[in-house]
Amino acid sequence: MVEESRVENTAKERDFLVLSGISKRYGGVVALENVDFACERGKIHAVLGENGAGKSTLIKIVAGVVQPDAGTMRLEGEEVRFPSPSSANAAGVASIFQELSLLPDLSVADNISITSPPRRLGFIDTKAQRRRAEALLAEIGCEDVNPLMRVRDLPLSRRQMVEIAKALGQKPQLFVLDEATSALTSADVEKVYAMLARLKAQNIAILYISHRMHEVEALADRASVFRNGRHIETFDWGRRSTGEIVQLMIGRDIATQYPPKPLRPKGKPALKLGNLCWERRLEAISLEVAAGEIVGLGGLDGQGQKTLLLALFGVLRGVTGEIVINGKPVRPSSPAFAKSPSVGIALVPEDRKTEGLMLPMSIADNLAIASLHTLETGPFVDRAKERSAVEKGIARLRIKVGDSKDAVSTLSGGNQQKVVIAKWLMTEPGIILLNDPTRGIDVGTKQEIYRLMRELADQGVAILFYSTDYDELIGCCDRVAIMYDGRIVRELEGTDLTEHNIITSALNIDGAAATSPPGEATHV
């Protein structure tokens, strides 16, 4: 008892933010249950846990996005209540969420100063606003972003940096980052690290949520682990090993991170690209993916990897060059054509919330939407067929579902991504294109996705897999094609497939030296 009250006293002195007894439920789902949590000034406090552990809800409560059902929140000893995000901002809490909050049709400068633009005679002072944006962007090392550009025209990674600059502009006392680095390139991540170190030196409290353990390892001073809506443990970083932390997060052991790669002769080429070009974004792409093979697309963000996937899926107009599928030349003109049985391509898109799912619709509707035409009897959707197909999809990916009639938005991020993947598996594709499918997803689900990819490959599916995570590419892929400026600069395979090789090729460091065409570069 004595011990406990002493801890409480010191907590009152040092802690910047203290939550006690916070609970939150969404309908029947308990998101947080009786959570006590505290964080200090001048420390980077990592919040760890699987998707659905309650991290996002915790952050949303701190940021004033949702209100707790019970419990109190104290800021520097004073009880506070944030009925809206702006009240949290006013109290010095700036947050960056997994979902971006930028307005796509406004300029970068407009977005950065959206809540309190500099004014002159009552009108927005655009020059001051622009200078402010330039200064903030410079602070995070993004001088290359033009503040007058529309946010819509920026790639995702740059948008994320703009979001960070915007939060920084609010002069926060508590800075909250929820998966803020998941869309960033490694160069940008370094810049964010440097910025966080500066904020820390300014005695600002920082809450950091990331599924990337190496980031947490590099940054955290303290860490709290959450599981199933409960606060499990808070400790100074270094007091627990990574293995122990993972154990705390998932409550079970993870043996191997990646499924083993089978050694077997290459199958027949399922997908063959010859001299594929689109505008100036794809230049002379030649690539083969065999049945049963997982081929990775690597390189820095925005070098044409996503464009290539979209071109194959028939989204882009004016693609030239050759696409050969199972020996037959095809010209995908729309996703509807690309998914037809004779082509058999599936795409798991970049942004599951806007491109992968119809969030307000039910889980069952979302699962069935791509294969609905195969579930018809006469002019009507056959409900029995549909139900059994949906159940099969849910079971195959072990999606955690209460009722398949619930809106898909009620699922956690990892389970939502499983719905997107299951939807496409229901069309029985021969070629699967994956656009960064594990972004912002918990460790457990990531591993399930890796295993599933290998399982599908074993069944003869050809997989083309873009990821911003090099570790993942090395662990999952039989071969990785590195793209730079719309071209494939190198293909890595076997023992060549190392982080060092990926990074040097991605930066095109040896681009001048390696004049040999990509196909030959793989032979050592």
Type of residue found at 64 = G
CB of 269 to other proteins, least distance (A): 24
CA angle 420, 423, 427 (to 5 degrees): 140
| Minimum CB distance to other proteins, residue 104 (Å) | 10
Neighbours of 164 (CB within 10 A): 27
Distance (Å, rounded) from C-alpha 484 to C-alpha 507?
8
- Supply the minimum distance, in Å, between the C-beta of residue 334 and other proteins: 7
Judged by CB, which is closer to other proteins: 80, or 359?
Answer: 359
Residue 217 or 391 having the CB closest to other proteins: 391
Residue whose pair of structure tokens reads 């089978």 in the numeric block: 262
**C-alpha span between 468 and 151 (Å, rounded):** 21
CA 443, 448, 454, 460 dihedral sign is: negative
Distance in angstroms between the alpha carbons of the first and the last residue of the chain:
67
Secondary structure of residue 463 in the 3-state scheme: strand
The tokens describing 336, both together, are 């509807």
CB of 407 to other proteins, least distance (A): 5
Residue 184 Cβ, how far from other proteins at the closest point, in Å? 22
Q: Which is nearer to other proteins, 366 or 508 (CB)?
A: 366
Q: 135 or 315: whose CB is closer to other proteins?
A: 315
Nearest to 51 by CA among 331, 497, 361, 449: 449
As measured in angstroms, the least distance from the Cβ of 332 to other proteins is 11
* Helices marked H in 75-142: 85-90, 108-112, 126-139
Rounded Cα distance between 364 and 46, Å, is: 35
Please report how close the Cβ of residue 135 comes to other proteins at its closest, in angstroms.
29
Query: Please, which residues have CB within 8 angstroms of residue 335's CB and are 6 or more apart in sequence?
Result: 313, 314, 315, 347
Rounded to the nearest whole angstrom, what is the least distance from the CB of residue 422 to other proteins in the complex? Answer: 12
Q: Beta 376-377 vs 431-435: how paired, if at all?
A: unpaired
Contact between 187 and 181 (Cβ < 8 Å): no
Residue whose CB is less far from other proteins, 275 or 354: 354
d(CA 424, CA 432): 8
In the DSSP assignment, the letter for residue 482 is E
**Which residues bind to other proteins, rule: CB under 8 A?**
26-29, 31, 56-57, 60, 66, 313, 315, 334-336, 338-339, 347, 349, 354-361, 365, 368-370, 372-373, 375-376, 379-381, 406-407, 409-410, 412, 423, 427
Instruction: State the minimum distance, in angstroms, from the CB of residue 162 to other proteins.
Output: 18
What CA–CA distance (Å, rounded) separates 36 from 232? 10
Kindly tell me which of 348 and 443 has the beta carbon lying closer to other proteins: 348
Cα distance between residue 76 and residue 247, in whole Å: 33
Other Cβ atoms within 10 Å of 499 Cβ, number: 11
Question: How far is 221 from 242, CA to CA, in rounded Å?
Answer: 14
CB closer to other proteins out of 185 and 445: 445
Nearer to other proteins, 123 or 380 (CB): 380
Indicate the residue among 28 and 327 with the shorter CB distance to other proteins: 28
Sign of CA dihedral 240, 246, 250, 255: negative
Q: Which is closer to other proteins, CB of 12 or CB of 383?
A: 383
> Do residues 111 and 166 make contact, with C-beta atoms less than 8 angstroms apart?
yes
Task: Write the DSSP string, 446-461.
Answer: HHHHHHHHHHHHHTT-
- 10 Å Cβ neighbour count for 515? 8
CB nearer other proteins, residue 355 or residue 458: 355
CB of residue 216 vs other proteins: minimum separation in angstroms?
Answer: 22
Nearest distance in Å: CB 469, other proteins: 23
Q: Which is nearer to other proteins, 324 or 372 (CB)?
A: 372
- Cβ of residue 32: shortest distance to other proteins, in angstroms? 10
